[in-house]
Chains A and B, each alone.
Chain A
């Protein structure tokens, strides 16, 4: 079920709380805005946030984003459709401004791809908050990649992944991916090596779906939500 748009206090808890208490971040966790621009299954993400004892709030008015310390930009399907919708709904300036101010933002799947300059999938540009382009993945393996994959880390783990010490398996669904980014903090190997997660200060992106990745995904989401941004 989707959470109430307002007031968030009426958002109902669903399911059992996550049994691993260590996964949840701080006591008294706050609201998290989910950008509701008409794309995707927001119920799963809201459900995962509730398990971490955050209150998800679907926000469909760009001017309200400023009220939230944590904002998640979801996205599934076609890059061009998402890029178009995020502009038609008027969210682009609010998102760009937020990042310029150093405030916390997490893009998930196509939401992460939108942070880049563009994609092979569409002529419509991305938000250009990160340099680089999303490319068609190599067909040496079956596409879409629709499976769990093990994250690959170079050196020390970024705090987003600090809550897991062993292998981190997460669920990917995509045919386009970023090959290189100076802000990459995790990769995956699917025929070729692709960027699985990026971080530039409090600007975060994950190509996989933490809300669909069992307890591993919840740990990643908790790690991301716990990162400090301006105003967090």
Chain B
């Protein structure tokens, strides 16, 4: 049975979880170690940690911080942000990451995907793709949405899958942080183009948005602001999805009786 994962995302800058609107206006949402533990206990199906300062300032990802977050979670843990070499990926996978997410560096050097995949397997490599709508299609953008690449989404999807991507994390930069719901056209296009798992990201604001996303057929539903600021709990989202016949994991002690 296929089910959909509910995935809180920790966007980290300066050692704190932040979440802005379209990646620019950053608000402080808390301590990543504490939040990671809370989400792991609260029934999150996976945790994604993105060091959003890494690419822009040229720093390595916060390996030590990622390691501390990893120790507190008993669920799959993905780390991304500024990963530009096999060596950095290896360090993160050694300190407790299950998967690494590559983005800007993969656009510069697509062979990076192959390099990591060959050593650790494609299930370890998530390719994060940020896009903006351009008329009837989508353009890949990098550096937190600030740098256009001229690459059309569908061509990039073909390329990264050929290079050994195991999963795609696709974020609509038009929707991100805007709470207007996932971009349905975007995920319909990506799902038709690839047969590896796809995580939808960007714009979820209310329960119905999760349901619409799940019905598109994506394998993961990523959200940040609604969880960090307590608008919705993981349990509320899962109960709502289950109530609408979407297969989600619910542990015995998570099921409301």
B93 within 8 A of A: yes
Q: How far is the CB of A177 from chain B (nearest CB, A)?
A: 13
Does B5 have its Cβ within 8 Å of any Cβ on chain A? yes
Residue-wise, chain A 7-49 has the 8 Å CB interface mask toward B (1 for contact) of 0000000111000000000000000000000000101100110
Residues of A within 8 A of B40 (CB): 214
A124 at the interface (CB under 8 A from B): no
Given contacts A146-B197, A148-B3, 8 further A-B contacts (CB under 8 A): A44-B98, A142-B196, A167-B250, A173-B123, A175-B123, A190-B2, A211-B74, A212-B75
Which 4 A-B pairs have CB atoms at the shortest separation, nearest pair first?
A: A77-B121, A166-B252, A148-B249, A169-B249
Question: CB of A119 within 8 A of chain B?
Answer: no
The verdict on A2 contacting B74 (CB below 8 Å), with A146-B197, A149-B1, A190-B1 known, is no
- Contact, CB under 8 Å: A76 / B121: yes
Asked if residues B96 and A41 are in contact (CB atoms below 8 Å), the reply is yes
Within 8 A of A (CB), among B237-254: 249-253
CB <8 Å contact, A43 and B96: yes
8 Å CB interface, B70-124 against A: 70-72, 74-77, 93-98, 119-124
Chain A contact residue count (CB 8 A cutoff): 44
State whether A169 and B250 are in contact (beta carbons under 8 Å apart), knowing that A47-B71, A78-B121 are contacts in the complex. yes
- Kindly name the residue among A41, A77, A173 whose own CB sees the greatest number of chain B CB atoms within 10 A: A41
A208 to chain B, nearest CB (A): 11
26 A-B pairs in the complex with CB atoms less than 8 angstroms apart: A2-B94, A14-B71, A16-B37, A41-B97, A41-B98, A43-B71, A43-B96, A47-B70, A76-B121, A78-B121, A141-B2, A142-B195, A142-B196, A144-B123, A144-B196, A147-B3, A148-B3, A148-B5, A149-B3, A164-B252, A167-B251, A169-B250, A173-B123, A190-B2, A212-B76, A214-B43
Question: How far does the alpha carbon of A14 sit from the alpha carbon of B69 in the complex, in Å?
Answer: 11
* Contacting pair A174 B123 (CB below 8 A): yes
A contact residues around B1 at 8 Å (CB): 149-150, 189-190
In the assembled complex, A217 has its CB within 8 A of some CB on chain B: yes
Interface range for B: 35 or more
Would you give the shortest CB distance from A78 to chain B, in whole angstroms? 6
Identify which of A15, A43, A217 contacts B94 (C-beta below 8 A): A43
The smallest beta-carbon distance between A28 and chain B, in angstroms, is 23
Which B residues touch A141, using CB under 8 A? Answer: 2
Contact digits for B150-189, partner A, Cβ 8 Å, 1 yes 0 no: 0000000000000000110000000000000000000000
State whether A44 touches B219 (Cβ < 8 A). Answer: no
- A207 within 8 Å of B by Cβ? no
B251–A146 touching, CB < 8 Å: no
Give Cα distance in the complex from A1 to B72, angstroms.
11
Out of B2, B71, B76, B122, name the residue touching A1 (CB < 8 Å). Answer: B71
A201-232 contacts to B (CB < 8 Å): 209, 211-218
Beta-carbon contacts under 8 Å, A152-170 to B: 164-167, 169
Query: Which of A77, A171, A175 contacts B76 (CB under 8 A)?
Result: A171
Are A169 and B251 interface neighbours, CB within 8 A? yes
Interface pair B219/A146, CB less than 8 Å apart: yes
**Which residues in A have their C-beta under 8 angstroms from that of B197?**
142, 144, 146-147
B207 in the interface, Cβ–Cβ < 8 Å?
no
The residue that B124 contacts in the complex, of A77, A174, A215, with Cβ under 8 A, is: A77
* Closest A residue to B217 using CB positions: A142
B45: interface (CB < 8 Å):
yes
Contact B67 A1 (CB under 8 A): yes
- Give the complex CA separation of A1 and B67 in angstroms: 7
What is the minimal beta-carbon distance from B73 to any residue of chain A, in angstroms?
A: 9
Q: Specify which of B70, B97, B119 lies most central, judged by the most chain A CB atoms within 10 Å of its CB.
A: B70
Residue of A nearest to B248 (CB): A148
Chain A CB within 10 Å, residue with most, of B2, B121, B124, B196: B121
> Which chain B positions have C-beta within 8 A of A44?
70, 77, 96, 98
Q: Are A146 and B167 in contact (CB under 8 A)?
A: yes
Given contacts A148-B5, A171-B75, contact A1 B95 (CB under 8 A): yes
* Residue from the list B72, B195, B196 in contact with A15, Cβ < 8 A: B72
A174 to B43, CA, bound (A): 22
Alpha-carbon distance A48/B98, docked complex (angstroms): 14
The answer to whether the Cβ of A139 comes within 8 Å of any Cβ in the partner chain is: yes
Interface centre among A16, A141, A147, A209 (most CB of B within 10 A): A147
Q: Are B95 and A217 in contact (CB under 8 A)?
A: no
Give A43 to B166 CA distance when docked, in angstroms. 22
Residues of B within 8 A of A174 (CB): 123
Tell me the chain B residues, 19-46 only, with Cβ under 8 Å from chain A.
Answer: 37, 40, 43, 45
